[in-house]
Amino acid sequence: MTNRFARRASLSIFLALFFIATEALADSVCKHIVWYKIDARLKIDDRGRPTTIEGRETLTWLNDSPDPVSELQFHLYLNAFKNEKSTFFKESSGTSRGFSFEAGEWGWIDISSMKVVDGEDLTAKIEFIHPDDDNADDQTVIRVPLSKPVAPGAKITLDIDFISRLPRVFARSGYCGRFAMVVQWFPKIGVWEKAGDRRREKAGWNCHQYHATSEYYANFGVYDVSITVPPEYKDKIGATGRLRSERNEDGFLTYNYYQEDVHDFAWTADPDYIKVTRSFKADEQVSRDEINEWAAKLSLPADQIALRDVEVTLLIQPEHEDQIDRHFRAAFNAIKYFGLWYGKYPYDTLTVVDPPYGGEGAGGMEYPTLITAGTSWWPGRDQNPEGVIVHEFGHQFWYGLVANNEFEESWLDEGFNTYSTGKVLEVAYGLDHLPIRLASVPVVYLPVAVPHPVEDRIITLQGNFSDPILTPSWKFFNQMSYGINSYPRSGLTLRTLERYLGESVMARVMREYYGRWRFRHPASQDFFDVVNSISGQDMNWFFDQFVKGTGTLDYEIAQVTSERAAAKAGLYDGDGQKSEVKASESESTPYETEVSVLRKGEAWFPVEVLLRFEDGSQIYARPVSVRDGVIEYQMTSNRDEREWKETWAVGDHWKKFKLTTPSKLKSAFVDPYEKVMLDACAINNSWTPGSGISSATRWSSGGMFWFQSLLQFFGSLG
């Protein structure tokens, strides 16, 4: 016994040390493909506006593939704002997230020189291409042929001189007054994908144009960026990474920021910012009980759950000064819960930016270690930064660290973040309420709006999807389809998956997915594989329908009867003559109950069914397996503890549950515990005597349609 105990103790210590070492190693394991050293100078025009950046970029790119690469491709994102013939303008009509382009306030980026260090001048070889469409006028992607291919495992270093002109901000990047939000502002190399990367068949560049509904995709690397600004911007800037140095030359300030293990760099400047810095101290914000709780849930050592300190800087507008504490509380809650659930935030800093009035088009966005929040006078969002801050911080995980291709699989960041943000808001603020205010006076309290599963369900109600969730962002039917599929429908899909698998299994799925794909580029199939592995189930039926398909999911209690069984009435032969038996009832006569569950949509799901009877008993139909196109149900009666089996072929649109019971049916429910968040119409999921199933369904369809339309109208206002 003693030796065996000692061996077990030694094994436990070894495993604990192994996990700690693994976690420490994972924190530092990031394959650097790019190294950017950029010197940028912010220029003020004759109207005092920060409109231009003069830049010099030294880029080193590693060919981490077995392929010789004979050309380079770059994003020139700011050319999306160059004219009305760009793909972005054609798709958006100059409107983004409720904000519109201001006539004449164009943006662009020009490369004045591109040379291989100690090598050839590539400037004359630059050629605009349009890999996604036939728009020859789009100038957001370039190719640069090389005289000598970059060999497998080799590096190439370029010196690039460029000028960037910021548009009047309405879509993420630009200026407003003296405010500048400088994002996607430098020549940014695309991603060379070898065969097999993200299930790709042939090697090639992944370098998409700037679309109205797409975001970004890039390799991890190192950014060393020096930003020179006029004297009025002293201590009024924020950027990706940690500030390493500051120097003053003839009144102009140069700030150097540095960050490893990221795939983008953004910065902002505004003389009106109030700058406040506070530290998220892990030992103060996270209790030992919380660490132990999640260590147990995830079956991980407590030291692997522990978080790290983060320096948080808030750049806030003076008129929102009374919101400072709320901004920090939201940021700290996000760092805490995303860290506990998925893995600790690995960076030293986080900057939260509050854009000014008129610059709201820059709000609600995410960049590595820097996010933009923002407020609005509109009821429901006024002075309500919590949802936005938690959501945008969440993108540090879903797109930032687990770096999916937002162009091609937007649900892997927006949908995952919708799901995760809702869970953080529920835990941190409760399902009660955040205040809606007018003129700083609390008027009414409503559920947190961004995002919340109830609101998501309303927005996605009625199904009739034009596209699968798994659709490239620019190929959705329209911007509404992109929005619904990438955000609420994807969030509900993950909520439904969680309720089907169970919270503990889903928690392990998400932790494993994050841990396995941090600092890498997963595809949807990689997530599917993690789900199947952790759950021990083949969940392809789920993903085929609800991620790759467009079918509507809608179950209904369609018909119900529950009457006393009639005696065998009629004429019967006996003793050579016929005798008549008349029907009769007594209190001991059992009830014949039949409940018809109808699958109205094309999609199917292993739904639960619950029947309650007047004597307090109930019968519960629980799906226990999905195999060979058949759902097997375990039927359980709590009256006599009977158990039996039922089956429902997934191709059948209805199932009749027929029972003989001593008591009359009181109520019937399909999906009684609301696990199937994707059900298009929840109001037809129950029956009670006199409930009027069909009329309720018609009322729901009409009423929810108008409610949905109202929400979409208000949502379009930003």
DSSP per-residue codes, 501-522 = H-HHHHHHHHHHHHHHHTTB--
Stated as kind and residue range, the H or E segment containing 236 is: none
Q: How far is CA 601 from CA 499, 651, 656, 681, in A?
A: 21, 11, 17, 11
339-352, pLDDT tens digit by residue? 999 999 999 999 99
pLDDT at 559 over 60: yes
Give the Cα separation of 239 and 38 in Å (integer): 13
- The CATH superfamily assigned to 30-269 is tricorn interacting facor f3 domain (2.60.40.1730)
Residue 104, helix vs strand vs coil: coil
Q: How confident is the prediction for the chain on average, in pLDDT?
A: 88
pLDDT (tens digit per residue) in 466-483: 999 999 999 999 999 999
Res 186 pLDDT > 50: yes
pLDDT band for position 586 (50/70/90)? low
Between 532 and 458, the higher pLDDT residue: 532
Distance CA 356, CA 353 (A): 10
| Per-residue pLDDT, 444 | 35
Would you list the domain boundaries of the chain? 30-269, 272-549, 555-692
Dist CA 338 CA 111 (whole Å): 40
This prediction has a pTM of 0.89
The count of other CB atoms within 10 Å of the CB of residue 356 is 21
Evaluate whether 339 touches 356 at the Cβ level (below 8 Å). no
Identify which has the larger pLDDT, 32 or 383. Answer: 32
Return the HEC string of 50-91. Answer: EEEEEEEEEEEEECCCCCCEEEEEEECHHHHHCCCCCHHHHH
pLDDT at 568: 64
| Structure tokens that stand for 501 in this block | 């698998």
Band the pLDDT of 640: cuts 50, 70, 90: confident
Tokens of 314: 């808030």
CB 160 within 8 A of CB 119: no
C-alpha to C-alpha distance for 48 and 53, rounded to whole angstroms: 14
298-321: pLDDT as tens digits: 999 999 999 999 999 999 999 999
> Which amino acid type is present at position 137?
D
Among 154, 156, 138, smallest CA distance to 146 is for 156
Q: What is the pLDDT of residues 192-250, one digit of tens each?
A: 999 999 999 999 999 999 999 999 999 999 999 999 999 999 999 999 999 999 999 98
| Residues 53 and 268: beta-carbon distance below 8 Å | no
Confidence category of residue 182, pLDDT binned at 50, 70, 90: very high
pLDDT on residue 691: 67
- Give the integer Cα–Cα distance in Å for 180 and 184: 13
712 has a pLDDT exceeding 50: no
Q: Residue 585: pLDDT band by 50, 70, 90 thresholds?
A: low
pLDDT band at 20 (very low <50, low <70, confident <90, very high): very low
Write down the number of H helices and E strands in the chain.
15, 37
Architecture of domain 272-549: Orthogonal Bundle (1.10)
Interatomic CA distance for residues 672 and 39, integer angstroms: 60
Whole-number percent of the chain with pLDDT over 70: 85
**Residues 520, 525, 529, 535: is their CA dihedral positive or negative?**
positive
pLDDT(39) > 80: yes
Nearest-angstrom CA–CA distance, 246 and 258 = 12
CA angle, 475 then 479 then 482, to 5°: 60
d(CA 259, CA 195): 29
454: pLDDT confidence band, cut at 50, 70 and 90?
low
The predicted structure's pLDDT at residue 16: 39
159 within 8 A of 115, measured Cβ to Cβ:
yes
Q: Tell me what pLDDT residue 682 has.
A: 85
Given the structure tokens 């009509």, which residue do they identify? 93
| Residue 446's pLDDT band (cuts 50, 70, 90) | very low
Tokens of 664: 């009359």
Whole-number Å distance between alpha carbons of 391 and 385: 10
Q: H-helix or E-strand containing 1?
A: none
pLDDT band at 372 (very low <50, low <70, confident <90, very high): very high
For the residues 280-292, what does the mean pLDDT come to?
97
Whether 378 has a pLDDT exceeding 60, the answer reads no
Q: What is the DSSP letter of 195?
A: T
pLDDT of amino acid 441:
38
Q: How many CB atoms lie within 10 A of CB 332?
A: 23
What is the full DSSP assignment across 325-369? Answer: HHHHHHHHHHHHHHHHHH-----SEEEEE-PPTT-GGG-SEEETT
pLDDT of the residue at 711:
40
Task: Give dist(CA 595, CA 445) in Å, integer.
Answer: 40
Query: Fold identical between 30-269 and 272-549?
Result: no
Q: Are 355 and 176 in contact (CB under 8 A)?
A: yes
pLDDT band at residue 572 using 50, 70 and 90 as cut-offs: confident
pLDDT value for 461: 65
CA 491 to chain centre: 7
CA neighbor of 259 nearest in space, from 466, 37, 525, 78: 37
Residue/partner pairs of 46-52 with CB below 8 Å, 24 or more apart:
48/178, 49/175, 49/177, 49/178, 50/166, 50/175, 50/178, 50/179, 50/180, 50/269, 51/165, 51/166, 51/175, 52/163, 52/164, 52/165, 52/166
Q: Please write the tens of the pLDDT for every residue from 641-679.
A: 889 999 999 999 999 999 999 999 999 999 999 999 999
Phi then psi for residue 444, to 5 deg, are -155, 160
3-state class (DSSP) for residue 121 = strand
Q: Which of 143, 136, 137, 131 is nearest to 214 (CA)?
A: 131
The span from the CA of 489 to the CA of 66, in Å, is 39
